[in-house]
Amino acid sequence: MTEYRYPAAQAAAEVLQRLAPQTAEPVLPLLDELFAAQEGGHSYITLAPQEAEALRQAAPVVGDGGAFTPLVLRGRRLFGGRLFALERSVAAELRRIARSRVRLPENAGLRQRLHDWLPDAGHNGQRLAAALAVLQPLMLVTGGPGTGKTTTVAKLLALLCADAAEMPRIALTAPTGKAAAHMTRSLHRALGSFDAGSERVLQHLTALEGQTVHRLLKLNPVVGRSKFNREQPLPFDIVVADEASMLDLPLLHQLLCAIPEHGRLILLGDENQLPPVGIGAVLPVLAQPTVLTAEEAVQLAEWLPEGVPFEVRDNPPPLAGNVARLEYSHRFDPQRGVGALAQAVVNGEAAAAEAAFARFSDDLFRLPETPAALARHFAKQHEAYWQAVNSGDPAACFAAQQQLVVLAARRSQAAEFNREYRKLLVAQGRAAEQGWFAGQVLMVAENDYAVNVFNGDIGIVLPHGDGLTAFFPDAGGFCTVSLSRLPAHDTAFAMTVHKSQGSEYQEVWLLGDEADSALFDRTLLYTTITRARRRFGYAGQMSALTAAVQRKNHRRTGLGEALRLAA
């Protein structure tokens, strides 16, 4: 009898044996592997030829995807039936939105605004992306940090508002509260960088506030259903979703289903960053070279007299005309410091990554390798933060907290660092061994709509009234949450790289992993480095870092095939 490591595999085996005891037998030994793959974010496992042949005789347990079956076999790829159906539905929803008919601005006015608002050579990629996004109801704008994704969207939204009789209803969203807040700040900053044409448009756009996808959809976490869905779509004409690489398949599916007919969806993200914690890897599938139909190219040429550089084909790949990549970084010089290291990592150039530490030692440096030693070094660099805490000013505290952060490949590393740093704070009289203390940095671990804080939000404990309370950024100011009402949370002087997504810091230190760690790969390293605006420190063996640069883990997904079949 097969023994299972995963309770879900055990439960599935029992159901399948009841459903079809004669044909389930060849499936049973594969269930643990299948559920392990799903836990790792993969959609399927690849079978040996003889295993696949045996499963072709296992109906009704295994099917080919034509009708629902508990398992689906496509060639040698074995899917869970529900996950297979979910990928097919995501593909269908993407194609539905891409085919929507949306209002286009008047040609002459749009052409002039594209020229005025995105005028110089450094903006050419942004101009192309904005023009294509006007044309397409579904759009992915992809690019690394500092390439101008939010700036492009700010100008895109202004283009769509400029000659509208009624201002379009716009929603800004992101997977976490932290990312949504960062998106709001970035958009408002971008709106101040150009003349939006009218006070009416500017007021409409500066009033926008980002919110989590869960909150936008009014998702009930208990039952996993949302208020807004196919039957009751979102009351918005345009939805902009930032940090789209963090959206797992189930959450993306709920968002797609809620986009109304004639609605626009604009996704922003970086396909080189970490995939979502949950299942799926949508951005690497969608982030393909841009290819247009002749009709699309003719329309773009009306708006872009300088020409359209995209390839044109009679039958482009699915959604190839719905993506634009921004290459030029306004934040990083790819020849220096953090930018050079990020470029080497994303290109898989281990020798160049190692050499960057020697070439740019002011910006890239090695650190003590153990959490305890790193905590002692961190304490020496963290005095400005504690001066801000002593001032009692929340704005000063959050500004200081964003100067330096420790990130870890594993949650256990972050927890160990936080314990070691707390020991030092206890010795300095800044913290007690147990309980909360002024200056404690917190990260919320679950959504709590009652107190309006969400998974990934960063708070700081500070004196307030007669005691302590947690402060969180909120709509340009700060809100307070009683410590007794805080949802599940962790101390967050250090946090995992996954939890840092949607944030940026002046300086980032990474607690690396072992050289043979499958977790420590190119995407994790790139995501870490690009959280830093100016300086990056590495605590670990250089051999582990170069191994990570060379290690590229790919999520196995059937979404590409699903998109082709949905055409």
| pLDDT per position as a tens digit, 158-193 | 999 998 989 999 999 999 888 898 899 999 999 988
Return d(Cα 265, Cα 99) in angstroms, integer: 12
In a domain, 557, yes or no: no
In a domain, 228, yes or no: yes
Domain boundary among 331, 356, 371: 331
Return d(Cα 358, Cα 364) in angstroms, integer: 8
Q: Residue 516 pLDDT more than 70?
A: yes
DSSP state of 169: P
Q: Which pLDDT value is given to residue 221?
A: 73
The total of other beta-carbon atoms located within 10 Å of residue 221's CB is 11
Q: Average pLDDT in the 540-545 region?
A: 96
Domain shared by 121 and 256, yes or no: yes
Domain shared by 123 and 239, yes or no: yes
Domain shared by 528 and 422, yes or no: yes
Domain shared by 313 and 343, yes or no: no
In a domain, 33, yes or no: yes
| Among 435, 501, 533, CA closest to 244 | 501
Domain shared by 128 and 227, yes or no: yes
What dihedral angle (degrees, nearest 10) is formed by the CA atoms of 348, 349, 353, 355? 170
Q: Which pLDDT value is given to residue 123?
A: 62
Return d(Cα 137, Cα 82) in angstroms, integer: 28
Return d(Cα 11, Cα 166) in angstroms, integer: 54
In a domain, 129, yes or no: yes
| Strand duo 77-80 + 71-74: pairing | antiparallel
Domain shared by 383 and 524, yes or no: yes
Return d(Cα 44, Cα 530) in angstroms, integer: 30
In a domain, 354, yes or no: yes
Average pLDDT across the chain, whole number: 93
Residue 537 corresponds to which tokens in the numbers above? 């420190």
Q: Which pLDDT value is given to residue 121?
A: 57
In a domain, 18, yes or no: yes
In a domain, 348, yes or no: yes
Q: Residue 124 pLDDT more than 70?
A: no
Return d(Cα 126, Cα 491) in angstroms, integer: 39
Q: Residue 564 pLDDT more than 80?
A: yes
Return d(Cα 250, Cα 227) in angstroms, integer: 15
Domain shared by 380 and 524, yes or no: yes
In a domain, 20, yes or no: yes
Domain shared by 412 and 519, yes or no: yes
CA-based torsion, 139, 128, 501, 368: positive or negative? positive
Domain shared by 322 and 344, yes or no: no
Domain boundaries, position 231: 106-331
Domain boundary among 297, 313, 331: 331
Contact 249, 281 (CB under 8 A): no
Domain shared by 190 and 63, yes or no: no
> In the structure, what pLDDT confidence band is assigned to residue 540 with cuts at 50, 70 and 90?
very high
Domain shared by 324 and 357, yes or no: no
Domain boundary among 306, 331, 356: 331
Q: Average pLDDT in the 243-255 region?
A: 96
Q: What CATH number is attached to the domain comprising 273?
A: 3.40.50.300
Prediction pTM value = 0.93
Return d(Cα 227, Cα 235) in angstroms, integer: 12
Instruction: Find out whether the peptide bond into 49 is cis, omega within 30 degrees of 0.
Output: no
Instruction: Give how many domains the chain has, as a whole number.
Output: 3
Q: Residue 362 pLDDT more than 70?
A: yes
Domain shared by 324 and 343, yes or no: no
> In the structure, what pLDDT confidence band is assigned to residue 330 with cuts at 50, 70 and 90?
confident
Contact 78, 53 (CB under 8 A): no
